[in-house]
Amino acid sequence: MRSLCFLTLAILALAAPCCSNPFLGSYVGERFPPVGSAAVITRPPSPQTARWIGRADFSTDAVIEPSQAIAAARAVGADLVEWSDRDAGTMLQWSSNTVSVSNWTGQISTAPMPVADTLFRCSARFYRSNSLGGSPLNPGQEPMPMLVPAAGGS
**What pLDDT is stored for residue 52 in this prediction?**
94
Mean pLDDT of the chain: 77
pLDDT(6) > 50: no
Of 84 and 11, the structure prediction assigns the larger pLDDT to: 84
**What pLDDT is stored for residue 105 in this prediction?**
67
| Residue range 56-105, pLDDT digits in tens | 999 888 889 999 999 999 999 999 999 998 876 766 667 666 666 666 66
Q: What are phi and psi of 101, to 5 degrees?
A: -130, 135
Is the sign of the CA dihedral 145, 140, 138, 60 positive or negative? positive
pTM: 0.65
Do the beta carbons of residue 79 and residue 127 sit within 8 Å?
yes
How far apart CA 29 and CA 49 sit, in angstroms, is 19
